[in-house]
Structure 1
Amino acid sequence: MARYFFDVHDGRTFFRDPEGHECADAHQIRHEAMHALPEIARQEIPKLAADTQAFTVFVRNEQGQTVYTATLTFAGLWMDKPIPTD
């Protein structure tokens, strides 16, 4: 199995994966990226509390070449005035 690195960009900061994961094939690379993005978004969206946010995973092989990328976007839109909070 080859090692792949799952780097993340959250629209502000680029986080480089220093360890990587061993993946058997392209299907597993895609699977890992698909599972990582919702977890990252679940933690990070409430921190910024912005109505537009995007999280991108860049998957690099051992040679440093990007072999796969995936993006998850959050977009919130008020249909009227925001409801005041206390």
Structure 2
Amino acid sequence: MTNLVDEVVAIACGPGESLLSALERQGHRVEYQCRQGYCGACRLPLADKSTPALSYLRPPLAWHGEDEVLTCCTHASSPIRLKLT
């Protein structure tokens, strides 16, 4: 897998689509393991801390900071800017 360093991308989710699925649909490679919010491998930092409404498709068990999202179980109702690291 190729790691992208500090690339900022704007992602828009379709209805019921996770950020991880939206990233993959647009050709981005993101590390993940469980796709259930348990492991935290898909954690990415927000590029813009004033991010609009984020919601969880299912409540995550893995820890994440205020300025991070677990892409496998997060949905954005409007475009969101993430840092791919």
For normalisation by structure 2, the TM-score amounts to 0.24
Which structure ranks higher in relative contact order (CA pairs < 8 Å, sequence separation ≥ 6)?
A: 2
Q: Judging by fraction of residues, say which structure has more strand.
A: 1
Q: Judging by fraction of residues, say which structure has more helix.
A: 1
For normalisation by structure 1, the TM-score amounts to 0.24
When Rg is computed on C-alpha atoms for both structures, the one with the higher figure is 1
